Amino acid sequence: MTRRYAVVLGLVALLLSLPGYAADTVHLAVDPSKPGARIDRNLFGQFAENLGQGLYEGIWVGPDSPIPNTRGIRNDVVAALRELKVPNVRWPGGCFADQYHWRKGIGPRDKRPATVNSAWGDVIDTNAFGTDEFMDFIQQIGSTPYVSVNVGSGTPQEAAEWLEYMTAAAPTALARERAANGHPEPYRVGFLGIGNESWDCGGAMSPEYYVSLMKVYSRFVLNMNPAQREHEQMLKIAVGPGTPSTQWTEAVMQAWKQHTWSWNINGLSLHWYTVPKGWPPSTDSVKFGLDDYASSLKATLFMDEFLRKQEAVMDTYDPEKKVTLTVDEWGAWHAPLAGTNPAFLVQQNSMRDAVLAALNLNIFARHAARVRMANIAQMVNVLQAMILTDKEKMVLTPTYYIFKMYVPFQDATSLPVTLDAGTYSRGNVKLPRVDAIAARDAAGRLLLSLTNLDAESPVVIDADLAGVTAKSATAQTLAAAAVNSVNTFAAPATVVPRATAVTVHGGKLNITLAPASVTVVAIEP
């Protein structure tokens, strides 16, 4: 334990012993008798775009690199990601997807053409990390591919052939080509993204124009893997909104309502970043104080309203919630870190970002009946990353630890929580003091995630578990000396989860939450 952290905890204990601090207790109640929607594990998906050092350096170093690797993919990054049980990875973009031509990224690497990544900084792309390398990475981390096909500058034929290359089992020419490239077995493709932000970088299309293309891609871009015909069928995700306007959602859902045997979509994507001061992103990812912390959290909580608006439209066309709302880009977007290429979207990742991640995951869990998939942007070295690398060095960010702490929530059943959250005021910004979700996992454990948004005071949680008796209870807390505390290559364990004292007795749970912290409690019945 660092000295600063020990001092903070000491102060917390001292404050709590003072008379008057009882007022800082937040009461909440969990009702295990009313199970809600499943918190789909795909809500904890990731996004790995060909952008900056996200793929190259962050994941791919090449087989000849002195950095320990397996077939060119960094071992340290793979080991860290395996801990997160990443359910799906979206690739190759983002804006990059609509200018990617997959054929340039297959076959012997020394014969692949160099191209320009004009989506992100006009850097030269060797195409060394292509389809087979991505699939190898997916297999190494134990995940599922979510492939975005090129609608903006590609054709349905190009996309259909890509899917055939990846998934055909029959001895078609493309299946043979894949086998010649070392992969006789067809790959499983879990999710297909039909374009990306087609209203903007994906081709500045009108909703009507996109909907026409979406039907064609849905009809002809097929998964041919025999193992995915009946079970684990590939889900097709259409482009959805990136602003609170519901026009795009209306157009896609109206078309979906009238879909025939010949085409279908299973999901509608939604992109929403937390850009606290608006575009272009200007908040510093390291040098900031409590005012910026509070306004960032305020901005992130808008996700809830955004989802509600889109869900209301989806409900009118699809009350049975067959089409999932897929938040396949979300997270904090700060100013580029000083000294980095601004097109590489490099930012540090602080305790603030960890709290922000927990709040978004909690929102998704509360919307789990409709929101069954999400992808944080992005996985390594880009935006709100899990992992930062510098040559042979690697550091895990506070956001990484939130995803790790939330692993037990994957596929757990949500349980209703009622609480009087109180208010944390900072200047004009007013936030709920506490945020909480609860769930029951497959092993019958009761899970609680408790976030104290208040960066200036601890809070005591007094939770009524409706008679749940506990054999044992454990808690892990992510807290830090300051909201802008970060992990660096020199000090990688500044913000890491630590065990926290929790008591469960007579159906009541008691725990003290440190300022600006996230705690996950697991109760064994």
Give the residues lining the site for ligand AHR (CB under 6 A).
49, 93-95, 196-197, 329, 377-378, 383
Could you tell me the sign of the dihedral formed by the alpha carbons of 386, 186, 56, 101, in that order? negative
Q: What single-letter DSSP state applies at residue 113? A: P
- CB-wise, 100 or 165, nearer to ligand AHR? 100
Nearest-angstrom CA–CA distance, 430 and 274: 17
- CB-wise, 385 or 453, nearer to ligand AHR? 385
Active site residue 250: no
* DSSP structure string for 396-407: E-HHHHHHHHTG
Return the structure tokens found at 423: 């208010």
First-to-final CA distance of the chain: 31
Place of tokens 């340290």: 76
Return the structure tokens found at 475: 């808690």
Nearest-angstrom CA–CA distance, 233 and 238: 16
Task: Using CB positions, name the residue nearest to ligand AHR.
Answer: 94
Q: How far is the CB of 210 from ligand AHR (least distance, A)?
A: 15
For the beta carbon of residue 66, count every other beta carbon within 10 angstroms. Answer: 8
- CA–CA–CA angle 38, 44, 48 (5° rounding): 150
Q: How far is the CB of 95 from ligand AHR (least distance, A)?
A: 4
- Write down the catalytic residue from 57, 164, 197, 311: 197
Task: Show Cβ contacts of residue 340 under 8 Å, excluding neighbours closer than 6 positions.
Answer: 346
Q: Specify the DSSP element, H or E, that contains 513.
A: strand 508-513
Task: Show Cβ contacts of residue 260 under 8 Å, excluding neighbours closer than 6 positions.
Answer: none
**Which of 140, 138, 161, 139 minimizes the C-alpha distance to 149?**
161
Task: Show Cβ contacts of residue 69 under 8 Å, excluding neighbours closer than 6 positions.
Answer: 61, 62, 63, 75
Nearest-angstrom CA–CA distance, 330 and 138: 21
Q: How far is the CB of 94 from ligand AHR (least distance, A)?
A: 3
Q: How far is the CB of 119 from ligand AHR (least distance, A)?
A: 7
For the beta carbon of residue 201, count every other beta carbon within 10 angstroms. Answer: 17
Active site residue 329: yes
Return the structure tokens found at 517: 């912290």
Q: How far is the CB of 382 from ligand AHR (least distance, A)?
A: 7
- Write down the catalytic residue from 133, 161, 311, 329: 329
500-505 own/partner pairs: CB under 8 Å, 24+ apart: 500/475, 500/476, 501/475, 502/473, 502/474, 502/475, 503/473, 504/465, 504/468, 504/470, 504/473, 505/470
* DSSP structure string for 133-145: HHHHHHHHHT--E
**Active site members:** 197, 329
